[in-house]
Copies of this chain bind each other. A is one copy, B any other.
């Protein structure tokens, strides 16, 4: 530990000391002098609330900083800013509320909490006149929150699309590059520590769903919660889908999408065909990216690490400097009180679709199948047949169609004699 640098001291209380908390303590220590020189603020972690104080975490904080009494940390008048990196809803929520009500700015990386109780917390922060910042909660090192709050303040955002789960992007990249099956790619992700033993939260889209709810709330200024998000994961994506997509010059990515539909907001997470020329198609491995579309700004994409102790700690530290600076100047930058968003039902989605249908290979089948599409106003953009005889498969990409029409088409296709099975149905970017 160095002696405190010159600069206004900022005493930080840390709730939780896992990967991100430990990396933050190291970063604050390493960068203290540089940051003091640039910002006039000298940060010092003075308290760290953990469940077990007997573990040696090897982080550069003063002797005696560790405590099991988190409530005392958020009440301590000697603490200027609170960083919550413990995760989960409770006790994080109660602690953050207490910190805000005690006039302390809070920086959090807690996506689960914000995706479910964000609006309540934003409103409490506004009433208290202090900052609640959470860049690290969504897409780690990618500064999407700041941009939605600040750069695009004069800009009506029309759509945000993100590759916001590194685990699934790693799996899809593996499947795409090496023709690996979903099961093998998942196993490799688990071996490398990218996926957990129970991968449900990642592969079924829950993690991405929480993040897109937070993004939608900021982008459109109305409360969107995790339960509003339509979820479809990647566990049904097959090597054959990826190959067929590649043949059509597309890749498959798990996208979180938040978009305006009139005065409603649509929010969804699902595997999506992305044209290879699109910037999102070049986002590989465990990287994240967020693609923002606005009326005036056009298309803007942010790319970077979505997770990892140091990248996430860097995002927390950026927020910490903001929060402490705003606090010293006597004002926060609150999001304020938000109304509930009107959520557009999934049936009203309009997008392009990819369908793989196993059929009997005999004359007239394509005409019969195509007629079903036509009856439901679903227009076909391209069709390819692969295989012959009992292996015959038709792969379609449609023009933009309504989800309800597409579902009606699927229903009728399943009733056709010549259709042996309807395989994957994926949404696609494009017209």
Contact = CB atoms under 8 A, between A and B. Distances in A.
Interface stretch (A142-150, A344-352, A373-381): A142-150
A100 B136 CA distance: 35
A1 interface: no
Interface string A296-322: 111111111100101101110110111
A282 B279 CA distance: 6
B298 A151 contact: no
A321 B331 CA distance: 16
Contacts of A35: 153-154
A121 interface: no
A283 B294 contact: no
9 contacts: A135-B151, A141-B297, A142-B300, A154-B318, A154-B321, A155-B317, A277-B284, A298-B305, A302-B302
Interface of A: 23, 27-28, 31, 34-35, 38-39, 135, 141-143, 146-147, 150-156, 221, 277, 279, 281-284, 294, 296-305, 308, 310-311, 313-315, 317-318, 320-322, 329, 331
B301 A302 contact: yes
A221 B38 contact: yes
Q: How many subunits of this chain does the assembly comprise?
A: 2
Given A299-B305, A310-B298, A318 B152 contact: yes
A92 to B, nearest CB: 23
Given A38-B221, A296-B310, A151 B156 contact: no
Given A31-B156, A155-B314, A297-B310, 11 more contacts: A31-B155, A39-B153, A135-B151, A142-B300, A146-B151, A151-B315, A153-B321, A153-B322, A154-B321, A294-B314, A300-B305
A13 B67 CA distance: 55
Contacts of A141: 297-298, 300
A336 to B, nearest CB: 9
A43 to B, nearest CB: 8
Contact of A31 (B146, B154, B315): B154
A172 to B, nearest CB: 16
A338 to B, nearest CB: 11
Nearest 7 pairs between A and B by C-beta? A154-B317, A282-B282, A300-B304, A296-B314, A301-B303, A297-B314, A143-B151
A282 B278 CA distance: 8
A299 B314 CA distance: 12
